[in-house]
Copies of this chain bind each other. A is one copy, B any other.
């Protein structure tokens, strides 16, 4: 039942502890006949290395953790997959922790990860206020890379996407199609991303179409249900008072708005054009394929992981970097009825 340990392997193979360890970690220094004898013993006894002992000695584990706000949000699963690729090919292991937008759970995870002396941490923290907890981790020598929060903090790296540019892209596209009454649906505005995307849209309108108006509809959250609610409210207005275009802070909201409008017989894009944000795979799969501002989700994860590995390698010489990606607009039917279903690139992975 209990696995054999290195000592039993050594005895069985008729060598010392050190030799077994060498076979495991530096096989080239062991004579090939000895090596084979040890490998046979390992196989025979079903020996499995005890990682706890190994880590205890090494002072550090080889696993990297990613803490996300919501595993069930397709945006994050794509970020995870990107990080996975990099960690995997470096021979490490990525574990995923889900804070579920709950500060207590985030804390619990951070505590346990710190006790485990993880090699490093990728995290999209709950809020900017939680940076002290992260500082403590960093002070204990655990590198942290922020994902999707530009921070400019001097003691950690970060990767993010330029949300202001994203807001611009969406707004410019809509005014380019002649829309002058645009509604921004998103909330709460206390979330930096939500605010930044709106700010970008506002700026674009000011520059490109001074006559155009951007109305804000603040939602309680970023879910499909919140989007449906927004659509209901919008449909309740007299026809003349409705915007001709809606820009949503993320795709879940946009899908909700789409569904709500359809119920009320308001056609997308003929009556109301619609643009979402994130370009999750389900955006392209909606019955009216959704135009969306694409974030390089997997690239975000990959880059974050690379920065982390870099820091782990370079140690104190490491210079922290803040990488900001540019978003990209993907136009589909929901904001341009001339687009066929094939419009837009295939979803990024």
Flag whether A100 is at the interface (Cβ < 8 A): yes
Tell me, in angstroms, the Cα distance from A231 to B3 when the chains sit together. Answer: 54
**Which residues of B lie under 8 Å from residue A262 when comparing CB positions?**
287
**Which residues of B lie under 8 Å from residue A100 when comparing CB positions?**
81, 84
Instruction: Give the Cβ gap from A314 to chain B, nearest Cβ, in Å.
Output: 15
User: Which residues of chain A from 103 to 158 have a CB within 8 Å of any chain B CB?
Assistant: 105, 108-109, 112, 114-117, 136, 139-141
A3, closest chain B residue (CB): B140
A59, A141, A258, A281 pick with most chain B CB within 10 angstroms:
A281
Flag whether A220 is at the interface (Cβ < 8 A): no
User: Are B98 and A97 neighbours in the complex by a CB distance under 8 Å?
Assistant: no
User: Are A52 and B48 neighbours in the complex by a CB distance under 8 Å?
Assistant: no
User: Are B255 and A282 neighbours in the complex by a CB distance under 8 Å?
Assistant: yes
User: Are B281 and A224 neighbours in the complex by a CB distance under 8 Å?
Assistant: yes
Instruction: Give the Cβ gap from A345 to chain B, nearest Cβ, in Å.
Output: 14
The count of chain A contact residues (Cβ–Cβ below 8 Å) is 61
Which listed residue (B2, B46, B71) contacts A71, Cβ 8 A?
B71
Type the 1/0 row for A6-28, where 1 means its CB is closer than 8 Å to any CB of B: 00000000000000000000000
Flag whether A259 is at the interface (Cβ < 8 A): yes
With A71-B71, A71-B96, A72-B74 known as contacts, the answer to whether A52 contacts B259 (CB < 8 A) is no
A1, A52, A71, A117 pick with most chain B CB within 10 angstroms:
A52
User: Are B105 and A88 neighbours in the complex by a CB distance under 8 Å?
Assistant: yes
With A71-B81, A96-B98, A117-B50 known as contacts, the answer to whether A285 contacts B140 (CB < 8 A) is no
User: Are B78 and A72 neighbours in the complex by a CB distance under 8 Å?
Assistant: yes
With A72-B78, A93-B109, A112-B93 known as contacts, the answer to whether A1 contacts B51 (CB < 8 A) is no
Tell me, in angstroms, the Cα distance from A192 to B215 when the chains sit together. Answer: 51
With A51-B115, A115-B49, A116-B52 known as contacts, the answer to whether A285 contacts B72 (CB < 8 A) is no
Tell me, in angstroms, the Cα distance from A114 to B93 when the chains sit together. Answer: 13
User: Are A341 and B259 neighbours in the complex by a CB distance under 8 Å?
Assistant: yes
Tell me, in angstroms, the Cα distance from A252 to B284 when the chains sit together. Answer: 12
Instruction: Give the Cβ gap from A90 to chain B, nearest Cβ, in Å.
Output: 13
7 contacts between A and B (CB under 8 A): A50-B115, A51-B117, A52-B52, A80-B98, A93-B97, A224-B285, A259-B341
Shortest 5 CB-CB contacts between residues of A and residues of B: A287-B287, A72-B77, A96-B96, A95-B95, A52-B55
